């Protein structure tokens, strides 16, 4: 019997991967490879590359220990072909294999490469997700609006999570109203569990520092989990230490507190080290024991079986051109301060610095600070998309593109969001302490020293009025704008244009 190759990608580090289940362990050969194409198609954060390579190497060891024949290629191997397809073909020549089994990748880019590979390739469904493509398509068919909330309710029914006799626990599907508190004066969580790099990780860190040291981001210190066992420890730590207060403060931001009560489990779930359902079941179990309030448990579970599943569904439903959409016609280049250049906006400065250090920022920092600014300023959404894909350790296109192109930048024309997520400086001031240390004054609406978010908010609404004034969720904003006297409106727009001109001129803003 001729052996087949079993391709396992860097974000498919799951023992129950469909390709591994389909394979004959006694005969087939697992192929894993660190390749330049995947490491460089965008300039990934060094921590992200180090996490993936470290976890891949350890997963390969795990498979070998379980009896698999694993052909593993490290990035600096002299015979490395440099691409996934190149490595598959090299291993096919080496072993005599003429067929490949793989689980569907999470990016159209790789799917298309595998579909057109010059070797017979069987692409299997990635059933590590709760909703299949067919199930999401069936849910979406005939709906005027694809709102996550209704999909989420179906996922609750399907999984049985936090359900009581066919009804949601507490008779409410959603406790988001209780999850919007500004940060408390003191954070009692120790943050995510940290792991000391072992020999395998240290080798990867040295490789990444040498090859990708000029990329945005710090590779050290490195504390991520790199095995399933460590990821499970990180899950237990979160449930015990941070989950009880996660709900209340999930939208809060504090200087010097990168993690607050957030899980930082998404890198492990997206790699395949943790299964989404097992994570949610651990959270549900803590709630059932009375260790976690209902708003915290429901809020976390909604992020996984609701939002995470929903954005994957959107990505595959909408097709390969989704990440390139630009529904608002924004064309401004991404400012240099997204890469660490000086800016006087304290919220942006702190969010970017945190991203550089940790390859992490939580969802409100991404949506309402960096994303909000990019949308207000009219930055090209594809440049914004690539930035998020590059700088965050949990970023893979299937999850990142809908969050950025759809939710953050409204570039998909409203498929995901019913309105643009824009705000003035008041929201950031309410949910953080960033404004206290800022060069700009959040209370100033016009004139020298006025918060740029205040100016750009009205500028955005004014230039997109024809698009949004009849949106029922935005009518009050336009009525407020219209109640301002004409001279006031003209001053706001003039000041905004002046500020944007300085941005265009690459002045320090």
pLDDT interval class at 248 (50, 70, 90) = very high
471: three-class secondary structure by DSSP: coil
Residue 1: pLDDT over 80: no
Closest CA to 269 of 241, 321, 305, 318: 305
Look-up of token digits 């004066």: 185
Mean pLDDT of 270-296: 98
> How many H helices and E strands in the chain?
24, 7
Domain boundaries, the chain: 5-124, 133-192+242-317, 336-504
* Mean pLDDT, all residues of the chain: 97
Under CATH, what is the fold of the domain 133-192+242-317? 1.25.40
Q: Each residue of 57-104: pLDDT tens digit?
A: 999 999 999 999 999 999 999 999 999 999 999 999 999 999 999 999
pLDDT interval class at 298 (50, 70, 90) = very high
Q: Each residue of 300-335: pLDDT tens digit?
A: 999 999 999 999 999 999 999 999 999 999 999 999
How much is the pLDDT for 178? Answer: 87
Closest CA to 443 of 457, 429, 458, 462: 429
pTM confidence score: 0.97
C-alpha distances (whole Å) from 181 to each of 58, 249, 250, 329 are 40, 5, 8, 35
Residue 260: pLDDT over 90: yes
pLDDT interval class at 393 (50, 70, 90) = very high
Under CATH, what is the fold of the domain 336-504? DNA Cyclobutane Dipyrimidine Photolyase, subunit A; domain 3 (1.10.579)
pLDDT interval class at 479 (50, 70, 90) = very high
pLDDT interval class at 11 (50, 70, 90) = very high
How much is the pLDDT for 2? Answer: 82
Q: Each residue of 405-462: pLDDT tens digit?
A: 999 999 999 999 999 999 999 999 999 999 999 999 999 999 999 999 999 999 999 9
Mean pLDDT of 348-371: 98
Residue 352: pLDDT over 90: yes
Closest CA to 109 of 56, 38, 46: 38
**Joined tokens for residue 303:** 């992020």
How much is the pLDDT for 183? Answer: 85
Phi, psi angles (nearest 5°) of residue 352: -70, -40
Phi, psi angles (nearest 5°) of residue 193: -65, 135
Residue 129: pLDDT over 90: yes
Which homologous superfamily does the CATH classification assign to the domain defined by 5-124?
HUPs (3.40.50.620)
């Amino acid at each position: 019997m001729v052996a087949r190759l079993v391709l396992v990608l860097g974000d498919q580090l799951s023992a129950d991967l469909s390709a591994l289940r389909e394979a004959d362990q006694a005969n087939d050969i697992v192929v894993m490879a660190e390749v330049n194409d995947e490491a460089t198609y965008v300039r990934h954060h060094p921590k992200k590359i180090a996490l993936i390579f470290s976890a891949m190497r350890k997963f390969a060891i795990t498979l070998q220990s379980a009896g698999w024949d694993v052909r593993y290629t490290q990035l600096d191997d002299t015979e490395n072909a440099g691409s996934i397809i190149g490595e598959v073909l090299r291993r096919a020549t080496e072993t005599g294999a003429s067929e490949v089994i793989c689980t569907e990748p999470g990016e159209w880019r790789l799917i298309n490469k595998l579909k057109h590979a010059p070797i017979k390739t069987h692409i299997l469904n990635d059933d590590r997700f709760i909703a299949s493509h067919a199930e999401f398509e069936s849910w979406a068919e005939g709906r005027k609006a694809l709102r996550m909330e209704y999909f989420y309710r179906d996922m609750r029914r399907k999984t049985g999570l936090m359900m009581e006799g066919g009804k949601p626990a507490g008779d409410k599907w959603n406790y988001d109203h209780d999850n919007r508190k500004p940060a408390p004066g003191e954070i009692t969580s120790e943050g995510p569990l940290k792991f000391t790099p072992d020999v395998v990780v240290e080798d990867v860190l040295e490789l990444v520092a040498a090859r990708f040291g000029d990329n945005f981001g710090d590779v050290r210190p490195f504390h991520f989990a790199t095995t399933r066992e460590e990821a499970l420890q990180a899950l237990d730590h979160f449930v015990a230490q941070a989950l009880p207060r996660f709900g209340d403060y999930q939208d809060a931001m504090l200087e010097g507190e990168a993690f607050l009560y957030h899980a930082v489990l998404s890198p492990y779930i997206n790699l395949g080290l943790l299964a989404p359902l097992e994570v949610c079941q651990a959270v549900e179990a803590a709630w059932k024991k009375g260790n976690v309030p209902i708003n915290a448990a429901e809020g976390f579970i909604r992020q996984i079986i609701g939002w995470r599943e929903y954005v994957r569904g959107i990505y595959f439903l909408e097709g390969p051109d989704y990440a390139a959409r630009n529904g608002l016609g924004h064309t401004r280049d991404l400012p240099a301060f997204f890469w660490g250049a000086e800016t006087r906006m304290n919220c942006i400065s702190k969010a970017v610095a945190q991203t550089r250090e940790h390859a992490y920022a939580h969802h409100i920092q991404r949506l309402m600070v960096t994303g909000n600014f990019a949308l207000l300023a009219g930055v090209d959404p594809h440049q914004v998309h690539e930035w998020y894909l590059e700088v965050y350790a949990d970023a893979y296109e299937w999850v990142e593109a809908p969050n950025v192109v759809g939710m953050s930048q409204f570039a998909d024309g409203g498929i995901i969001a019913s309105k643009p997520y824009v705000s003035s400086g008041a929201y950031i001031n309410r949910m953080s302490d960033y404004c206290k240390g800022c060069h700009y004054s959040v209370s100033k609406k016009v004139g020298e020293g006025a918060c740029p978010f205040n100016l750009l908010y009205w500028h955005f609404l004014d230039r997109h009025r024809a698009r949004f004034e009849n949106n029922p969720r935005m009518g009050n904003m336009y009525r407020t704008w219209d109640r301002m006297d004409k001279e006031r409106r003209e001053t706001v727009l003039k000041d905004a244009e002046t500020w944007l001109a300085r941005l265009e001129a690459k002045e320090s803003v």
